[in-house]
Structure 1
Amino acid sequence: MAGAGMAGAGMAGAGTAGAVEAAVSGGRRHGLTYRGVVYEVGDGETPATAWDPARMRGDLRAVAHDLHANSVKVTGDGVERLTATAAEAAERGLNVWLEPTLGDVPEREILDHLAETGRFAERLRRQGAGVHLSVGCEFVLYVPGIVPGANAQERVENLLKGAFDPVRMARRLRRFTAKAAGVGRSVFHGRLTYAAAQDEDVDWGLFDLVGIDYYAYFRSREEYVRDLAAFRRFGKPVAVMEFGCCTFKGAPEMGGMGWNVVDYDKEPPQIKGGLVRSERTQAAYLADVLSVFESMGLYSAMAYTFVTPDAPHRPHDPRHDLDMASYSIVKTIEDHSGAGASGRHWEPKESFRALARLYGQRGR
């Protein structure tokens, strides 16, 4: 059951799930405290797609005023990019979730990068901004040595193939997570969390919030509620650090692996055969899971992601419409006329409009 039909048929269990929701939420039906979007600050594959201060300011203006979000997760690497973006978000009245994700370098460099970012987060907090600090994202993928592999791509492949020692992985993950939490606590005195993959074994006693990257797909609302209820067993607020899906029929079922539909052995890279673009599928999935988060009164939810500059939408060339493999809620359009300074701009997808409507209603 995929695509546009999910909103109606996939959530057919809503009526029978009411009692379950009430039970697992303790009757709390007040909705999320923070609703927002992930904003990435990577250096891009080309200069035209790299982080740019002017473009960032325009994007955050849209997040605050058009998307009606009250928060944004600023993530990626590069302390200058992270801090400049966080400062702009705070200036616009957004609650800032700052998350450094430097990877594929020695542990010491990752922890130093976290400490410097965390010190800035503390300065923002002391100035009166609403700030949370996440010590990182899915360490099993980004930190060398937890899972075999020279980079995140190789680690994903080894995880999928089962080419790792689960006991050793769990031990190394806990050891590094404890180090990261210690660094975070030493420099930041607000609420601390970590963006874990759903099946990571994390010592949540180290943190103030249980943070999860949530890409699950179920056929009924009741199943989502039961799945999410498990994260409440730690007795702490649950923060959905990422949620979303790509932009094609069947993407919700692929969850966090939806991006893996591009054949990079082709030049230029090409969408694998048989996929059908569907903004409606993406919008329906985001709206459906958001309604579950709201009904359970979770702490926060951040849609992944605002924009993916390196995955342009090519409406007249479906085989090379890389936006299909993107989780972004806006689509990057190439300006072949050269009218834009960067040669590209973005336009909202159906998912942007759906979230804007829902966020706006809750904000009022």
Structure 2
Amino acid sequence: METTSKGTEDKGISRARFLAGAAALGLAGAVLPATGAQAADARAGRAGRPGRGLTRRGVVYTVGAGETPGTAWDPARMRADVRSIRHDLHANTVDVTGDGVERLTATAAEAAERDLHVWLQPTLGDVPQRDILEHLAECGRFADRLRGQGASVELSVGCEFWLFVPGIVPGETVLERIENLQNGTADPEQVQRRLTAFTAKAAAVGRSVFGGRLGYAAAQDDEVDWSLFDVVGIDYYSYHEHPADYVRELRRYLRWGKPLAITEFGTCTYAGAPQAGGMGWSVVDYDKDPPEIKGNLVRSERTQAAYLTDLLSVFESMGLYGAMAFEFLSADAPHRPDDPLHDLDMASYALTKPIRDRPDDPASPWHWEPKDAFHALSRRYARTC
């Protein structure tokens, strides 16, 4: 269920803090139960197409207001990051996600200028539904103009609507909605009806402004009417010991006969993180000032790199359409090599580690350095350039 901050930055909730709160409420995976029909469809899922590799090999790049002015989206930093995604990571795709039309469109335009395929995914959240749809429409119109100029662009109407869009699950904020799901005050059938209705609205808005391929990024167990979309998108954070188990699980998403894009996959930077799946963030204690890493975790860039490359091998073996590693940078999770208790980068899924010039100063200038996972993906992506 791990995703980008999905529009929460401007509302004062970073993705890390959201997940810490989710962990405190006991959320350990998808909340909506699969129906009997879903289970039957999964058993009937057809196999992938071995040996074809991936068409789109990329990374998620989040735009947002940041937790401090120093970690907010910056045009010059963004341009440098996109150059690195293209020339150092050797990706051919970037998932531009987050909120803020100006941030999203400027980043998408830069990526297109660098000959990257753009998966543009606006994810405004915790505002009225009409505002979310207007935000989507404005981004979609820009994406269509890019496409008209010859850029390779696809539009995703959003991700995991049941969690981030008000009016589907009771609650004004993400954390209130999680709590209502956990304490049983949300009716699953009503939630599913509302989710289906909003997804249809978002698809209709996307179609009305964008003439290219349309997608959506769903949580693994979401029930989605994929007839509305051209591409099936799944945020994938499973852990299995054997590759065959990943293949078996992923086959169910091929039953619609449409391209399957893994819109997010990844893990955090400590031993045992893959087993935590999308809840890897929850090892941070945000009640402490400054926040602390809980437990006696052992930093392991090797663990993160191995998980990413193992999953990439599975996706390639199945001939999936695309895969986008989560994520390029988490600026608000700085790496402190000499202070494991406050090394928030351990709880980060990012391929890079932010390092402050002055570790104890949140306003300090900072830069990022590549992790082992960055280098491992770079080598794999470079083989198929």
- Cα deviation digits, residues 270-328 of structure 1 (max 9, x gap): 11112211111110100001100000000000000000000000111111111111110
Q: 1:74 maps to what in 2? A: 96
SS, match of residue 236 in structure 1 = coil
Q: Is the 8 A contact 2:49 2:317 kept in 1?
A: no
Q: 2:37 maps to what in 1? A: none
The structural deviation recorded for 1:165 is 1.9
Tell me which amino acid in the other structure corresponds to 2:54: L
**Worse-superposed segment, 95-104 or 264-273:** 264-273
- Structure 1 gaps, min length 5: 1-22
Q: Is the 8 A contact 1:214 1:241 kept in 2?
A: yes
- Cα deviation digits, residues 10-35 of structure 1 (max 9, x gap): xxxxxxxxxxxxx9545441100000
Structure 2 residue corresponding to 1:291, chosen from 313, 337, 340: 313
Q: 2:271 maps to what in 1? A: 249
The structural deviation recorded for 1:156 is 3.6
SS, match of residue 259 in structure 1 = helix
Q: 2:298 maps to what in 1? A: 276
Q: 2:174 maps to what in 1? A: 152
The structural deviation recorded for 1:191 is 0.4
Structure 2 residue corresponding to 1:300, chosen from 322, 325, 328: 322
- Cα deviation digits, residues 158-182 of structure 1 (max 9, x gap): 4455553211111111010000000
SS, match of residue 281 in structure 2 = coil
The structural deviation recorded for 1:155 is 3.0
- Cα deviation digits, residues 229-260 of structure 1 (max 9, x gap): 00011111101111001111111111111111
* Change beyond 3 A, Cα 1:320–1:162: farther
Distance 1:57 1:286 in 2: 25
SS, match of residue 72 in structure 1 = strand
SS, match of residue 356 in structure 1 = helix
Structure 1 residue corresponding to 2:82, chosen from 51, 60, 85: 60
* Change beyond 3 A, Cα 1:82–1:102: same
Q: Is 1:140 matched with 2:162?
A: yes
Tell me which amino acid in the other structure corresponds to 1:343: P
* Change beyond 3 A, Cα 1:322–1:157: farther
* Change beyond 3 A, Cα 1:352–1:111: same
Tell me which amino acid in the other structure corresponds to 1:191: R
Percent identity, please.
Answer: 68
Tell me which amino acid in the other structure corresponds to 2:212: G
SS, match of residue 245 in structure 2 = helix
Tell me which amino acid in the other structure corresponds to 1:151: T
The structural deviation recorded for 1:157 is 4.4
- Structure 2 gaps, min length 5: 1-44
Tell me which amino acid in the other structure corresponds to 1:48: G
Tell me which amino acid in the other structure corresponds to 1:106: P
Give the TM-score, by structure 2 length.
Answer: 0.85
Q: Is 1:330 matched with 2:352?
A: yes
Distance 1:292 1:159 in 2: 33
Q: Is the 8 A contact 1:25 1:297 kept in 2?
A: no
Q: 1:312 maps to what in 2? A: 334
- Cα deviation digits, residues 46-84 of structure 1 (max 9, x gap): 000000000000000100000000010000000000000
Structure 2 residue corresponding to 1:210, chosen from 205, 213, 232: 232
Distance 2:249 2:105 in 1: 35
SS, match of residue 307 in structure 1 = coil
Q: Is 1:100 matched with 2:122?
A: yes
The structural deviation recorded for 1:354 is 0.4
Give the TM-score, by structure 1 length.
Answer: 0.90
Distance 2:364 2:185 in 1: 42
**Worse-superposed segment, 41-50 or 273-282:** 273-282
Distance 1:30 1:352 in 2: 23
Structure 2 residue corresponding to 1:350, chosen from 348, 372, 375: 372
Distance 1:173 1:285 in 2: 32
Q: 2:17 maps to what in 1? A: none
* Change beyond 3 A, Cα 1:281–1:153: farther
Distance 1:235 1:351 in 2: 32
Q: 2:247 maps to what in 1? A: 225
SS, match of residue 234 in structure 1 = coil
Q: CA RMSD in A?
A: 1.7
Q: Is the 8 A contact 2:101 2:138 kept in 1?
A: yes
Distance 2:191 2:278 in 1: 20
Q: 1:177 maps to what in 2? A: 199
Distance 1:273 1:158 in 2: 28
- Written as runs of structure 1 = structure 2, the 5 A alignment for 1:30-69 is 30-69=52-91
The structural deviation recorded for 1:145 is 2.1
Q: 1:120 maps to what in 2? A: 142
Distance 1:61 1:342 in 2: 24
The structural deviation recorded for 1:134 is 0.2
Distance 1:322 1:27 in 2: 39
* Change beyond 3 A, Cα 1:214–1:160: farther
* Change beyond 3 A, Cα 1:281–1:337: closer
